[in-house]
Structure 1
C-alpha cells in the first residue's frame, strides 16, 4: 500500500510517499498560506506519485483539528485561510481518497512510538521546541485527543508567569510566549531582555535570532541568563505533562535539539528535581531523524485509516 503524507509545518511544508513504513520519496517546500500551499502540495505530490494513486492520505497541521480529524479549527498566526476548510474533501478531489487530518505534534509522537525513539512505549509525551512549543501525549498506546480535539497538544500554553505577556492564543504568561524562537525575537525587539555584544551582532547580521544563537553565545552572561530561564520554562512544561499523563518516556524534539548536548541534560535535571516526590522519573529520548517524525506518523495514520475501512 502507498501512503501520501503532508506536513504543513510552520516554516516548511514536507511531503512524502511511503510504501508501508518505508519512505520512498519526499520533497520540501517553503511555507505559504491557504490555497497557495495546497496548490504547491498538489504539484509536488503528483510528481512523487508518478501517475499513481495513494491508498491513504494524511495531513498534519500546526494547530487544533476537529474531533473527526477533517479540518483545521485554530492555529494562531499560520494557515489562517485553511481554518474550516475540509481538507479530507480536498484530498479526495485531488488524489481520490479522503485524508486523515491531525495535529503535527500528535503525528510526530505517533511516528516515534511506531518505529522511532519511543518504539515499544505505550505511555509517552512529546515536547517540540522550535518556533513555538508543540506537545502531545499518549496513554496505553493511544494518542490523547479529547472530546473536542484539544487534549494533550496545548501544554505549551500553560501559564508559567501570571505577570507575563499576553500570548496570541489569548492566555497570559504562556510558556510559548516566554521561551520559544518567536518569543525571543519579540523580547529582544521590545528590549525586555538584555543581549550581549556577540548576540546583538548576530541579530544585526542575520536579522533574526534562534535558540542555537543563545547556546553558541552562552559565554556571554546575557545569553546564559536567557537560556537558563528558557530551560526552566521548558522543564515546567514537561513537569506539567508528566503530572497530567504519567509517561514512561519523554520525547524531546524540534530545532532546539540541534543543541541537544547542552539543552537536554539541563532539562532532564530540572524535570527530575521538580516532579512530585513519588512520580515516576521518565527516560528522555530524542528522534534520530526529527525532520521525518511527522511524516512517519502520518504514514501510520493513513495506513490505519485505510485498513480500518477495509475491515468487515
Structure 2
C-alpha cells in the first residue's frame, strides 16, 4: 500500500503519496505556524487520495525540522513556526487522522535517507548531509545506519558547531555557530547591518523582497558580496571538515536552494575541505541532489517501509 509522506518545512508543508521512490501525487500547504496547519494537511491529503483514485494509505512518514523523540513520536525542540507541535504525539495524530501507523523523523535525516536510498548517493553506506537554507541542517549515515544517539540529537546539530569563537550569537544559545555565521537568517542580518552590503547589488535585491543564499551567490562579482561569499564558504567548509573528522564519510551531500548554483559552490567548498582535513583523512566526493525538493519525502517513503522504524524502534515498554 502507498505511503503518505509529510514534510513540515520552513515556509511550506510538502505532501506526497509514494510507492517506494515513485511519487503518485504531491502538493504543498502553506506553513502558517498554527495548529490550523494540521487541519489543512488533512484536507490536502483527502484531495491527494482522490487524485490517485486510491484513498488507502499503508503507512505515514512525518519529517519535522527539529529534535525528534522517536520513542514517543514527539517533537522535542524546534525554532520559530513549530512551537505548537512541541510535545505533541505526531504518531497518534497521524493514526487518528489517516488510519495508518506512522514514523516520525528529523527532516535532515529523512533527506539523507532519501538521497542514499533513491537519489544522488544511492547505495552509499557512509555519508553526511548538509542543507544550506534558513538554517543549516545536517545528518550522518555510518555503515548504513542513521546516527541518532542516546537522546536523538546526534548528527543533526552540525550547523551549530562553532566556527568563530568571537562570532555572533545563535538562536540555539551558542555563539559563532556555522548557522549564525552563514545561513539565510544570518545573511539578512549581515545586509541590514553593513552599509557596503546594503549599497551593493545584494542590498538592492533585499529592498525588493526577502533574500536568500542564492542571491549572495548570484551577486558575488560585486566587492562586498564577494567578501561575504568567501566568509560563508569558509564557515560551511569548517563545519564540513568537522563532520568529516567525526563521521569519516565517503560522500558529502550538499543541498538547499543555493545549490541551484552548485557550480559556484561545490568546487571551492570541496577545495577548502580537502585543504583542511587531517592529512590521512579520506577526501570525500561532493554531490548535490538533482531534485532536492523531494529528498525528504523520498526518505520518509524508505523509512516507513522499514519495520523497525514503523514500530518506533525502542519503545519504552520494551526497555
Mapping 1:33-182, distance limit 5 Å: 33-50=33-50, 52-68=55-71, 70-182=73-185
Indicate the residue corresponding to 1:294 in structure 2.
Answer: 296
- Give yes or no for contact 2:7–2:107 (8 Å, CA) kept in 1: yes
- Give yes or no for contact 1:7–1:13 (8 Å, CA) kept in 2: yes
Distance in 2 of aligned mates of 1:257 and 1:33: 26
Task: Return the offset for 1:14.
Answer: 0.3
What TM-score does the superposition give when structure 1 sets the normalisation length? 0.95
Task: Return the offset for 1:203.
Answer: 1.4
Distance in 1 of aligned mates of 2:235 and 2:61: 32
Encode CA deviations 1:117-141: one digit per residue, 9 max, x unaligned: 1111100000000111000000010
- Give yes or no for contact 2:138–2:157 (8 Å, CA) kept in 1: yes
Distance in 1 of aligned mates of 2:56 and 2:289: 30
Encode CA deviations 1:237-291: one digit per residue, 9 max, x unaligned: 1101100000001111111101111011111100011000000000111111110
Asked whether 1:10 is paired with 2:30, we answer no
Distance in 2 of aligned mates of 1:173 and 1:15: 35
Indicate the residue corresponding to 1:279 in structure 2.
Answer: 281
Name which of 190, 193, 196 aligns with 2:193: 190
Change (3 A) 1:152 1:69: farther
Distance in 2 of aligned mates of 1:108 and 1:4: 16
Task: Return the offset for 1:187.
Answer: 2.1
Task: Return the offset for 1:195.
Answer: 4.0
Indicate the residue corresponding to 1:214 in structure 2.
Answer: 216
Change (3 A) 1:103 1:233: same
What TM-score does the superposition give when structure 2 sets the normalisation length? 0.93
Distance in 2 of aligned mates of 1:305 and 1:58: 13
Indicate the residue corresponding to 1:30 in structure 2.
Answer: 30
- The SS at the match of 1:125 is strand
- The SS at the match of 1:128 is strand
Gaps (5+ residues) in structure 1?
Answer: none
- Give yes or no for contact 1:54–1:97 (8 Å, CA) kept in 2: yes
Task: Tell me whether 109-118 or 34-43 shows the greater mean CA deviation.
Answer: 34-43
CA RMSD of aligned residues (A): 1.6
- The SS at the match of 1:79 is helix
Gaps (5+ residues) in structure 2?
Answer: 312-319
Distance in 1 of aligned mates of 2:310 and 2:188: 45
Change (3 A) 1:187 1:114: same
Distance in 2 of aligned mates of 1:256 and 1:197: 19
Q: How many residues align?
A: 308
Distance in 2 of aligned mates of 1:5 and 1:244: 31
